[in-house]
Structure 1
């Protein structure tokens, strides 16, 4: 995948949310030509009401935009063509390249944004605040929806209702759970014995087991694991070891939660010993995924997006859940997500809702992910897609589904504060490079997430 990949867009907290600090979005319509029904973002009359549409002849036209590497763009265009063949709707797909959030902002302000478009997990709250998205939860929960709400993995949808009032402004298009990938060859060379997947199956994939892995690999002159500044990396280690970062009211309580603080101390201990490497200290231009591909890194906590590249390489790899205290169960870890939202200025809002429901539902996800997809279904009923290779790649591909069902998307306390969502990765990078203590890191992190201000 190119540099502009799912990890870059969904996993980096410093993704520039300031780019979507929208000014007032003026009147007018989206970029795509409208197709029948009403215009100007208002719901149609009975004849154009796709909440009540019967049959497959939607007709009309709609525009849709997202980020995409060349392979994804090819598949998206194929989906647009198949949608037209089935539903009679002319779908115009456009790749929004470069700084995605900034480009969408410019298009929205200029009344040139697509009728429907991808929304990054750190973009949603600000777009809703600026009335740039249409509420689609009512439609998704209605009997008219061709993608019933209860088909979706609802554990990944909190960030799509930023007001917490049950109103949804997007639906997940698919997902990518943080997964413990490992190079089996490097582990064997290090004399590690049973790999993480086998240890998990035996109920012995514990903190002590991963300590042993990091130590033995490092002793052989290879890197064992890289910690990065994006929220998904350090937060997953906290929750897999039993931490509860969020109070009942949603506030961050990392510095008051014993398990979270022990997890930070554990990470800092490995960084101090060199058995874990900090990503911000890698030589300029040296990517973490590239190290894994080059057989210089034994483990990597990424999603399914790296699988297409791994299929081209010649070494043995597999996946496991993160290790846990008891070594037996799967604990919640981060699942990277994006959503599709409906432009409030879409020329035909009803048609846009219908397209979004189908695109994000079983039918759309199957069309986009079957045959070598680089993501995991975010709906029920398509679990077999991650195991469609014969034999499955990786061997324990089923773990993707287990992690998606148990995990969580971007926490609301991060997602709903534009300052935090924009700058969290940057301030974490600064603190780690300054070698703040584990105790101070926990305090600083809690204060920053809760207030947007550095202590």
Structure 2
């Protein structure tokens, strides 16, 4: 998962009230575990598939699932500080290091090597999906699945404004930033929104990487010394200024990215598969296309949105929690969750067919293609709280209070400061 992610935090009313939980109460003598995650209403149903399956297989352990609404990590942090946090919980790449540093999450390395574990380290995809979840060769959280970023496009809306399909651009080898500008020009001029731009660092990296730039290498910040990175900041800033893109923070109250897309008010959105179950429950005619590449590569590196499952270091039942953690992220757990209207694609090898066998949307293969070349930012995610600082800077940039150059310099400087360079 999302942010991270940035991952999407739209929650159904029931889950916002803490009432979205697995239906069975379990044996009174069973070990009781609690598990929390973010997600939209359809994602919550996906998570519960694996929870219910685990409970059916274990008479001695019962997992209760509850969604957390609102500001997920703030709520989770408050509960952790108050000793009321769940036994297991989702984390985004940007938050893992914070909880590693304060020893809030339990290492899983030893358990993975045991006979009890449902999954082994070597079963996870060789793609760059771990981010900060492995530090100093210790595994602290497991990738629940993967969510490579790509574009969703509304076929009906693009037809209405006379825009060329992104697939046609792609087939001609012209799916690049110029194509995005041409499409969003037409949408804007028709009184629609072209593309919804988030202010998470993860979303900014998509533009940097697909332009061949870097924000950081393995051990240092290089953003302010890379002209391709500045070019990315300048492009998205100009797109927001010229109303080709709309900054997500300025959308009408109560209108999130997915709602705008489903109501035919925006033509393009950037996300992983987490929006797909919701869109398939409507009559939307939509498809995927890789993130537009501004290099010679037809599919360029973009981000992989990740959610990691971690065990509360203060759980009363750490071994049982790790057992569920390994099951949920195993081939069996991921097959159960990702088959049919799943919300992601696998983080383990050998089960991509559970996604590719689906008939909708047409170009579902692009999800796997994007995962193979995508990556998760690691270096900057090792600094607790940095993701929030960067989001605040990008918000000022999109609101016009900082130029692209100023935002880039601030982002680079605060990153170096918080990383101790």
Residue 90 of structure 1 aligns with which residue? 61
Residue 417 of structure 2 aligns with which residue? 451
SS in 1 for 2:271: coil
User: What is the root-mean-square deviation in Å for CA atoms of aligned residues?
Assistant: 2.8
Whole-angstrom CA distance in 2 between matches of 1:62 and 1:304? 31
Change (3 A) 1:123 1:273: closer
Equivalent of 1:159 in 107, 126, 132: 132
SS in 1 for 2:145: strand
Q: Is the 8 A contact 1:203 1:328 kept in 2?
A: no
SS in 2 for 1:243: coil
Matches within 5 A, 1:317-396: 317-326=286-295, 328-389=297-358, 392-396=359-363
What's the CA shift for 1:185?
2.2
Residue 39 of structure 1 aligns with which residue? none
SS in 1 for 2:306: strand
Residue 151 of structure 2 aligns with which residue? 180
What's the CA shift for 1:282?
3.0
* CA distances 1:138-161 after superposition (whole Å, capped 9, x unpaired): 433567643121221351112202
Change (3 A) 1:416 1:441: same
Residue 297 of structure 1 aligns with which residue? 266
Equivalent of 2:175 in 196, 205, 216: 205
SS in 2 for 1:345: coil
Change (3 A) 1:100 1:279: closer
Q: Is the 8 A contact 1:182 1:300 kept in 2?
A: yes
* CA distances 1:183-224 after superposition (whole Å, capped 9, x unpaired): 12222233333x223432442222332232222333333221
Change (3 A) 1:79 1:427: same
Matches within 5 A, 1:399-418: 399-413=366-380, 415-418=381-384
Equivalent of 2:198 in 228, 239, 243: 228
Whole-angstrom CA distance in 2 between matches of 1:356 and 1:449? 32
Output the TM-score relative to the length of structure 2: 0.85
Aligned pair 1:429/2:395, yes or no? yes
Q: Is the 8 A contact 2:202 2:303 kept in 1?
A: yes
Aligned pair 1:280/2:280, yes or no? no
Q: Is the 8 A contact 2:155 2:285 kept in 1?
A: yes
Whole-angstrom CA distance in 2 between matches of 1:310 and 1:105? 31
Residue 109 of structure 2 aligns with which residue? 137
Unpaired segments of 5 or more residues in structure 1? 1-5, 15-34, 36-58
Unpaired segments of 5 or more residues in structure 2? 10-26
Q: Which has the larger radius of gyration?
A: 1
SS in 2 for 1:319: strand
Residue 224 of structure 2 aligns with which residue? 255
SS in 1 for 2:163: coil
SS in 2 for 1:65: strand
Paired residues, number: 398
What's the CA shift for 1:360?
0.7
What's the CA shift for 1:236?
0.4
Output the TM-score relative to the length of structure 1: 0.79
Whole-angstrom CA distance in 2 between matches of 1:108 and 1:435? 36
322-331 vs 302-311, which deviates more? Answer: 322-331
